Structure 1
Amino acid sequence: MTSETTYVELSFKNEAKPSCAKSRPPAAPKEKSSLHKSNPRFPKVLFASLLVLLLLLAISFFIAFIIFFQKYSQLLKERKTTKELTHTALECLRENVTMEGKDWSCCPKNWKPFSSNCYFISDTTRNWMESEKNCLAMRSHLLVINTKDEQDFITQNTVASSAYYIGLSNPKGEDWQWVDRTPYNESGTFWHSGEPSNFDEDCVALLFRTPLRKWGWNDVSCNEHHRSLCKMTKIYL
């Protein structure tokens, strides 16, 4: 028995597998989304806030500068006033002053306050002219008496054993005149009875007459040496 061999032709082809899509590079990893998205209006709001703050600071500085300048000017004025008065110490009282911005009325130390004036009673005896010069050196004048209340205040603070020059004189033998040019009013004077009595006595002194127990004015020689009374307007601060 003859055996038969059957050959089957087989063929093999190397074919690439078709790709469904073109190859792509690997995708970059996605960044995580920010939790807070940036607000485009934020820089504008910040700028406006800073601008307002700077404006408020500028206004505050300007107001502070004005207040400082006013206080400084007032301080300079007060120092100048005190310096011009040549008094190194003042004694002040707080009172209802009608002058705007003024709360204190002051007199130099050792001066006596009364009404709107200050009075100095000198212990040194001088002639009338020297007495007036002494008052002028203290930015004042010899006493000018305007009212009975003022006359009474002065006599309550003077010594009965002394005479005191006041600012009334008659240098040319004519009309009496006050050193501050206040008009002389005969009805407002406080002469002792019978005074003035001597045409050669051209100055006036306040003195106490023992028999009458009364203070009054006498005309005296301007060269006599007596104590004196100075008067100045109060200093207001």
Structure 2
Amino acid sequence: MRDHMRQTQAVPFGVILAPKEKTNPHKSDRSFPKLLLASLLILLLLSAISCLIAFIFFFQKCSYIPKEKNTTEEVPHTVLECMKENSTTEGKDWSCCPKNWTSFSSSCYFISTEENIWDESEKRCSRMKAHLLVINSKDEQDIITRKLRGNSVYYVGLSDPEGKRHWQWVDQTPYNKSATFWHRGEPNNRYERCVVLNAPSGEWGWNDVPCNERQKSICKMMKIYLRMEHSP
């Protein structure tokens, strides 16, 4: 028995190596999407910064100027509708009107459905850097009247402040008797010192009315020109 135990104890033990830690392939698989997402977020952030810089640079290169005026006054219109100009005049690449205004020639027109007396109508136009409609030609009047409601009456920028039949346009355009569009028999009352555009018989024309009547109105302003300043 002792010999057997001695033999048993004499058997050498082999060197037991600790098993290698198994790698988990799923762990690296899970980290890859996170890395990809982080990369995409960084790219998006860089793109957004680039767009912001380009946006600021573009608007620093643009300026809005009213036609034939050199002014630094802020134009009170935030949304413009513009058309490419065919003119080769420097600094007039795009001609613009405020959104919902009508464009014709070098002017923009706004048809107001709000009813006011003549003075208040002119003040409202003035707050938009415009004035009541000044009509210079039959073509201009026809363009505007196509947008009007036949049963409505609209103030224009013509008045006779002193009641002496000395008609004056609000923008100081000389009153030209050969380019007027009065209805037959008008003007007919020296106490009616303001002018409206109406179509009582289906044809649009001018009529003198008391200035304290509340009517709709039409505003007019010069087009806004977008000037692109190209770097040398």
Aligned to 1:132, the other structure's residue is in SS state: helix
Q: Shift of the alpha carbon at 1:154? A: 1.0
Q: What are the residue-to-residue correspondences of 1:23-34 with 2, within 5 Å? A: none
Higher RCO (CA < 8 A, seq sep 6+) = 2
Report the TM-score when normalising by structure 1: 0.65
State the TM-score, normalizing by the size of structure 2: 0.67
Which amino acid in the other structure matches residue 183 of structure 1? Answer: P
Q: Is the 8 A contact 2:108 2:220 kept in 1?
A: yes
Residue aligned with 1:78, SS: strand
The offset of 1:98, in angstroms, is: 4.3
Q: For residue 78 of structure 1, what is the aligned residue in structure 2?
A: 64
Please state whether the residue corresponding to 1:131 is helix, strand or coil: helix
2:91 is matched with 101
Deviation of 1:87 (Å): 0.7
Q: Does 1:112 align with 2:102?
A: yes
Query: Which aligned pairs between 1:1-237 and structure 2 lie closer than 5 A?
Result: 74-75=61-62, 77-78=63-64, 84-174=74-164, 175-210=166-201, 213-237=202-226
Aligned length: 165
Instruction: Provide, for residues 76-123 of structure 1, a one-character-per-residue CA deviation record: whole Å limited to 9, x for no partner.
Output: x43997972211110001121343132111000110101110000001
Contact 1:97 1:104 (C-alpha < 8 Å) held by counterparts: no
The gaps in structure 1 that reach 5 residues or longer are 1-70
Cα 1:79–1:104 change in 2 (3 A) is closer
2:204 aligns to what SS in structure 1?
strand
Alpha-carbon separation, structure 2, partners of 1:125 and 1:97:
38
Identity over aligned pairs, percent:
60
In the alignment, the residues of structure 1 paired with residue 208 and residue 88 of structure 2 have an alpha-carbon distance, to the nearest angstrom, of 38
Closer/same/farther in 2, CA of residues 107 and 197 from structure 1, 3 Å limit: same
On the 8 A contact 2:64/2:224 being kept in 1, the answer is no
Aligned to 1:53: none
User: d(CA) in 2 for partners of 1:126 and 1:113?
Assistant: 24
Q: Identify the residue that residue 11 of structure 2 maps to in structure 1.
A: none
Structure 2 counterpart SS, 1:153 = helix
CA distance in 2, matches of 1:79, 1:192: 38
Structure 1 residues 79, 193: closer, same or farther in 2, change over 3 A? closer
- Runs of 4+ in structure 1 deviating by more than 6 angstroms, as ranges, are 79-83
Partners of 1:138 and 1:128 in 2: CA distance: 16
Could you say which residue in structure 2 is the equivalent of 1:32?
none
**Structure-2 change in CA distance of 1:176 and 1:73 (3 Å):** same
Q: Structure 1 stretch 215-224 or stretch 90-99: which is displaced more?
A: 90-99
Q: Measure, in 1, the Cα distance between the counterparts of 2:222 and 2:77.
A: 14
CA RMSD of aligned residues (A): 2.3
Q: Residue type matched to 2:193 in 1?
A: D
Find the aligned partners of 2:120 and 2:104 in 1 and give their Cα distance: 25
CA contact (8 A) 1:82 1:88 kept: no
Structure-2 change in CA distance of 1:144 and 1:180 (3 Å): same
Change (3 A) 1:107 1:82: farther
